[in-house]
Structure 1
């Protein structure tokens, strides 16, 4: 059965975390909003999911009659079906916890450029964004990166993967997190990367996986841009 992924067209955003899992697994899926009339269909489903609980916002995934929203929830569902989650139930919950921590980090990254309100343009909240970004780069970014480094180095199955002994959706999401941070805060990342060698090694190993490498070189891989969660505003990266 074909999975249907719904997310805003033109930006990788949060939908990219799901795309990477689908691409790595070679899954049959449709990126609906990139099809003619897809965005309208997505907005219609957000109002009326045909008997299912409508999702509050994209990304969401439809598999048959199931409508599943939120990145971590989608990946918790897809992981076992795509062979991208540990077989042990306990470790699946560990993976979900790590993915939720990534979700928290992404939310804080978003708030560096939109600290007051999502309905306001960045230019309407630049002073607040500058303060928020400075705090994030000084305190939160090293804490998040250090945590994921520790998760890798303390994994009983080895430091190549974040949970268990095989590739999981968490590894793919950490790859995307590093990619996004390098785009949004290149100076800050250069200052922090020497402290997270295991995280970077895992990132590099994901990048050369055959299906991921092919995906990254394809037109399906959308470029980061200043409409995305990860945005590069040089003035916000100066504090590093």
Structure 2
């Protein structure tokens, strides 16, 4: 099956969590948002789905995935759908629910990271809410990053199969997502992450392990891996990450 990933062009954003799963599995997929509009792709093709022209169950927003006749939206939902197909989740149902729950926790963390630079309204620019962003960043960088990543540090310690991966003996899609979160937070809050590093050695080891997976390493070295920027979820504003 050829998958079609629909997400906004030129940024990693939430779509990157899905890209990492597709890349690690070596799946055949089309990144619709980054494809040429003159070939019937790009944003116009994506908007046809959002406006209900291509499906009677339109998604609220990207990312969404088209797989055959199915359209699946929301990152955690998409990864729960793809996990068994791409062999990125353990075979037993209990573990699959556990992986999904961990992914939902990453969804919460990602939302909080986004709201640091847009704490008042998405419709306002960062500059229009910079004072509020400073207050939000102080709490996020000083408290919430530690709260989330120390939780995943404990989860790794609880894994009966060892602390190599979050669930079971093999990597699952939530390990890939944890890598993306660590990479994004390191870009956005390098000082905060440097201070926290001694407390989360297992989490950082998983991130390094994911980056070294052959398919992921090839993807990270390719032009398909879009860079972090101040247009995505994880944004680096020095004033929000004091030394």
TM superposition shift of 1:50: 2.9
Is the 2:23–2:219 Cα contact (8 Å) retained in structure 1?
A: yes
Query: How far apart in 2 are the matches of 1:175 and 1:202?
Result: 7
Q: Tell me what 1:146 maps to.
A: 150
Match of 1:183 in 2: 187
Please give the TM-score of this superposition, normalised by the length of structure 1: 0.98
Task: Report deviation, 1:49.
Answer: 4.9
1:73 and 2:80 correspond: no
Q: Find the counterpart in structure 1 of residue 168 from structure 2.
A: 164
Distance in 2 between the 1:206 and 1:133 partners?
A: 28
Is the Cα–Cα contact under 8 Å of residues 52 and 67 in structure 1 kept in the other structure?
no
Indicate conservation of the 8 Å contact 1:52/1:66, yes or no: no
- Match for residue 84 of structure 1 among 81, 88, 95: 88
Query: Alignment length, in residue pairs?
Result: 239
CA contact (8 A) 2:49 2:55 kept: no
Q: Mean Cα displacement is larger for which, 65-74 or 48-57?
A: 48-57
- Structure 1 runs of 4+ with >2 Å offset: 49-52
Structure 2 Cα separation of the partners of residues 216 and 226 of structure 1: 19
Partner of residue 5, structure 1: 5
Question: What's the CA shift string for 1:63-111, capped at 9, x where partnerless?
Answer: 0111100000000000010000010101100000000000000000000
Task: Give ranges in structure 1 of 5+ residues lacking alignment.
Answer: none
TM-score by length of 2: 0.97
Establish whether residue 55 from structure 1 lines up as the match of residue 56 from structure 2.
Answer: no
Shift of residue 43 of structure 1?
1.2
Supply the RMSD in Å over aligned alpha carbons: 0.8
Counterpart in 1 of 2:101?
Answer: 97
Structure 1 counterpart of 2:22: 22
What SS does the aligned partner of 2:107 have? Answer: helix
3-state SS of paired residue (1:235): helix
